[in-house]
Chain A
Amino acid sequence: MMKKHLFWMIFLSACIAPLFGAEPLSAPSVHMGFPWWGYSALLLVFSFILGIVAVMSGVGGAVLFVPLVTTFFPFHVDYVRGASLLVALAAALSSSPRFIRQGFASLPLVLPMACLSSVFAVIGAMTGLMLPQDAVRIALGIAILFICAVMILFSKNEAPAMSDGDGLSQYLRMNGVIHDEKQDQPINWRARNTLLGLLLFACVGFMAGMFGMGAGWANVPVFNLVLGIPLKVAVACSMLLIAVSDTAAAWVYLNKGAVLAPIAIPSIIGVMLGSKVGVRLFAKAAPRTIRLFVIFLLILAGLSSLLKGLKIL
């Protein structure tokens, strides 16, 4: 009960705090009839809804955040990517401890993957911040449409067949056992195709750093389909991997001044609170319908980003 009150207190005070210090609507502080705090408050509400939708559709909040915020808000893409990385980082850090304690997130599996992924996340972040805004918009549009294709085509494999693994996975003991609640029996797993996995995570890390996205959309299929990891373990390991690789990229954005308080902070608070509501609503929702709606939104946002970059829109 106390927790519930605290939740709404945080949300409401974050919404109304700017009003106490609000300036009169002088011309320079107003953009298209909106004062600065209006955008922050709108971003908070937008991120809150995004957090709900992200959890209910099974898509990370950050993958929706960048294309939608760059489409609907007047911010430079640098700050949107900086805020998005922090949103993904905060969400991944919040869920990782529980996944580790439940035995789903495996550190021996994530440690080497995260190491390479974070190097490429830093390179991606540096590349993204060096490119002109239009070039980033075009690349982002293409990336978003590619993500939609992955989301449509990727068919999950709850429990891939147990393999013998390879030399590297055996050396690093990338194996484990989880309990399948549906069949009430243990599922043994061992990673395979480790080198290919490392290579793919390097590419995913680059994209995550460049576009400020969490990259769960790519991590889960790579863990599940390429490394042969059961789906639940893949999801949990993906969150831990995001926590590490986004940390590396977040430092680049922080050091380059690409984190603006009125954009980043309401986004983090909104998505974090929204995802808590999303978890509660999850049982009552129709995830397939929401997922299709999200894919539709992403296609629109991807096309919009592409056309804006090409100066057609």
Chain B
Amino acid sequence: MMKKADERFSWLIENCVRIGLFVLFGTFIVYSSHLVAPIIPFSDLPLAWKLSAKDLLIREGLQPGWGFLHELGYSDVLCLLGPIILALTIIVAYAGMIPVLFEKGKRRYVFIIIIQLMILLAALSGRIGMAG
């Protein structure tokens, strides 16, 4: 009954994960072999990872949320691309399922998926809880 939607969903997850893990591994090689400079110097790491995320952002003068896009030239920020692709996987897979479910007349599931996408996009936007 959901066969085609299941297949589309699985295919999208599989391929996004493949790309995500490839990018994750590749960017970490770039980072750890010092080919590109990081935004947090290696010499500061033993101190940096003892600070809370909030304190570290203040100390390094970084913006929370999508501000990191301006810092992609640094190897440690570049390393975030792998986790970001992994965190986008479900969003892509859910969105890819909508046309199939709509075509099959499964509107009740389309409705739930749209609500789920709204929740995930709200989390992705970085606007949730920014005051904290």
Identify the A interface with B (CB < 8 A).
10, 13-14, 17-18, 20-21, 23, 26, 28-31, 36-37, 39-40, 74-76, 78-79, 82, 86, 89-90, 93-94, 96-97, 100-101, 107-108, 111-112, 114-115, 118-119, 122, 126, 129-130, 133, 171-173, 243-244, 247-266, 268-269, 272
Contact = CB atoms under 8 A, between A and B. Distances in A.
Contact of A107 (B5, B89, B124, B130): B5
Given A36-B42, A107-B2, A252-B128, A93 B86 contact: yes
A156 B38 CA distance: 48
B13 A96 contact: yes
B123 A251 contact: yes
A247 B13 CA distance: 13
Nearest to A258: B53
A75 B14 CA distance: 32
Given A23-B43, A29-B43, A97-B10, A261 B80 contact: yes
B29 A115 contact: no
A21 B14 CA distance: 33
Contacts, number: 212
A269 to B, nearest CB: 6
B80 A247 contact: no
Contact of A130 (B31, B87, B132): B132
Contacts of A10: 25
Category for how many chain B residues contact A: 35 or more
Contacts of A263: 49
Interface string B97-118: 0000000000011001101100
A21 to B, nearest CB: 3
A97 B45 contact: no
Contact of A97 (B14, B50, B91, B126): B14
B73 interface: no
B24 A257 contact: no
A111 B21 CA distance: 25
B45 A269 contact: no
Contacts of B89: 93, 243, 247
B65 A255 contact: yes
A107 B109 contact: yes
Contacts of A89: 86-87
A265 B28 contact: yes
Contact of B126 (A82, A171, A255, A266): A255
Q: Which 8 A-B residue pairings sit nearest by Cβ, starting from the closest?
A: A21-B34, A261-B79, A31-B46, A97-B10, A255-B126, A251-B123, A258-B53, A126-B129
Contacts of B27: 261, 265
B113 A126 contact: no
B83 to A, nearest CB: 5
A285 to B, nearest CB: 26
5 contacts: A14-B25, A111-B112, A247-B89, A248-B119, A260-B48
Contacts of A126: 128-129, 132
Contacts of A272: 21
Contact of A76 (B43, B49, B66): B49
Nearest to B7: A101
